[in-house]
Structures are given as C-alpha cells and as structure tokens.
Amino acid sequence: MTQFPQKDMFHIPDGLIYLDGNSLGPIPKAVPAATQKMLTDEWGELLIRGWNKAGWMNQPTKLGDQIAPIIGVVAGSVAVGDTLSVKVFQALAAALQLNPDRRKILSDNGNFPTDLYMAEGLIRTIGKDHKLITVDPTDVINSIDDDTAVVMLTQVDYRTGRLHDTKTITAAAHAAGAIMIWDLAHTAGAMPIDLAGAEFAVGCTYKYLNAGPGAPAFIYVRPDLIETIQPALSGWLGHDAPFEFEQSYRPGHAIERMRVGTPPVIQMASLQVALDIWKDLDLNDLRAASIKLSERFIAGIEATCPDLTLASPRDPNARGSQVSFAFDQGYAAMQAVIDHGVIGDFRAPNIMRFGFTPLYLDESDIDAAVGIIASVMTQKLYTDAKYQTRSRVT
C-alpha cells in the first residue's frame, strides 16, 4: 500500500484515531507558526499596508489557482472567499440567468441541505415562479427535461457516501439544454475530479483540504462563460475597480467578479499552508489508498459488528472517501466510540459515518479503530446514559 509522508505534517492528538476528516480535517503542524507570522509580521507590523505589501488582496485568486488542479480545472477559473452557502447562491443565481426561459431547478434528496435551502431562498427572492424539484439520486437523469434550467448536485452524498457520475449526468444535463452545478465539498482533495464541461462548481476547504473550521469556500466558473456572468451578489471586491469607489457596479475581470466581501486573511494564511501539502501529491494514488483503507474497514466491521448495516455502496468505485453504517442507536454508539478514542460522526436519522484520508491514516489505524468499535458494540457500551443526550453538533 502507498505510504504518504504527509502523515508527519498533521497533528493528531495522542490516543486518537481520526476518522472524521470528511467533516473537518486535522490541523497541519505548520499552521500555527504561519498564522502567528501573519498576525505579528503582517497585521502587526504592516497594519493596513498588508493589503499591498503582504498580498492580501490577491489571495482569493492566488489560492484559487492552487485549488484548480485539485479539482481538475485551469488556473484563473477559481476564486476563494465567503462561505459555501454564499458560493452556492452565486452559482445558482448565475445559472438561472443563463437559462432565463426555464423554471425547474433539479436536485436530489441526498444533496446537502444548505444547497437546497439556498435554492429555496433564491427562488423566494427573485419571485419568478421557479421550482426546486428533488428526486432520488438514481432518478436524476430521467428527471431532466426541457423545463430544467439547472441541475445542482453534490458529487458525494454526505450521509451514505454514494458517488455521482459527473460525466454521465453533466452530459445528460447539457443534452437537455440545462446548466450543471457540482458541489465538491465531499470530493475536493479526496479523489481526481472530472467536471466534464460543467458550467459551475463550488466547494469548501475545511474537509479534505484541511484549512480549518470556517475556512473559506471556492467557486469555479467555466472560462468561456465568466465574462457573461452578472453576479447577483455584486460585492465591492467583485467590482472592476473597487478603489475608484463608483456609485454603480461594474463586474470585475474574469473570475474576479465572483468575489464578494473582504477576504478572511487570517483564515487564508491557514489555507495557504494546507494547500502547500498538495504540491507533490498524486490524486490517483490518494484515491487508490483511500479505497484500500475503506475496504479494510468494511471487512473488519462486518466481521465483528453484526448489529451495524452497511449504508454506503458496496462497490468502492461508487462511493467517496467515507463509509457509513446504519444502526438504530447510532448517535449513542458514535458517542461511545468517540469516548473510546475513535472519532467519527453521526448523521440523522441513524448513520454512523467514518472518513478515510490516507494523508494521515494507515492500515494500523484502521485495524485499531475496528477493534475499538467492535468492543463498544459487543459490550453494548453505548447503552450508558451519558451517551444518550444529543449535543448541538452531532
């Protein structure tokens, strides 16, 4: 199995096996020093001069260019900033502009809720009788019709890990005259990505890209379309010349127009460190290693935990870098597992979810995790009252 030297670049607390990088990646060891340097040498010493002298103003596109090869697109087509919800809103609003005579937004019931919530809010805001239709993941292609303006999907189902075929679905959307938006939150940094000519993609940087809680999101726009986009969120820093302080908005050049607010400079210092880890990584090797780890985990759990039912696709090529098991007391069981040193997470109604990131996990971690989970399940440690009360974050 391929061994990744990057394991030494991450801090994992002693005594823990971290199987939740699909929700929040661990901190790269170089982040504290880099962030402190930004605070003291840049903000501290340069003050407002840091926008020019430290290059803060250029961070959204500079970092976007580093994300571009990770998601399989060209430099100059990705901008970083704001939150994933904001980027979903931007992409969907722009997509509807490109298809003004159609009213149907198609998604699936495995899409992450924020994408659906933002679509509902946009529909209410623009007031043009658009409708959001959600179907089972297997019914997406058959539901694309001549009134479909946009197909908006998350590539990996956040609960089960089910993986959509970007090529087939994008081709079907385009054949019907629809615009394609992919949410890459659960695939960017986990596997090679082929957007297959999709018009838009969005994603976050705090999961597999390990930039930290609240790290900024990114948006991709296909280069041949970007100059036609009139941003619905026409923020100051998306203006063509923000320091001319004009009274009316003029969209910036190319991907710059998809910027909205002030860049989160401190958080981007963390993102810069995290992205530096990717310079010499082969995503195909990473994906192969992830599959081997997840297959080992599934085999181990199914051999020792008969009460857990695999909720992810059996075929490793049909799922992302996560594995989910269903259990009717899944929340309590996951709390017990975490309490005994294996961190995963829970997704309602009954999903115990585990992520596999070979950058900092190896076979010995997987075997140890299986042993701990088996102990929790066979001894029914999850029945302890202290595991029954749900926290706000699950």
Rounded Cα gap, residues 378 and 8, in angstroms:
33
At how many degrees (to 10) do helices 283-304 and 363-378 cross? 30
CA distances from 191 to 122, 209, 238, 262, 369 (A): 31, 11, 31, 30, 23
Q: Which residues contact 39 (CB under 8 A, 6 or more apart)?
A: 266
Distance CA 68, CA 55 (A): 20
Residues that are catalytic:
112, 183, 206-207, 353
CA atoms in the 13 A half-sphere facing the CB of 366? 24
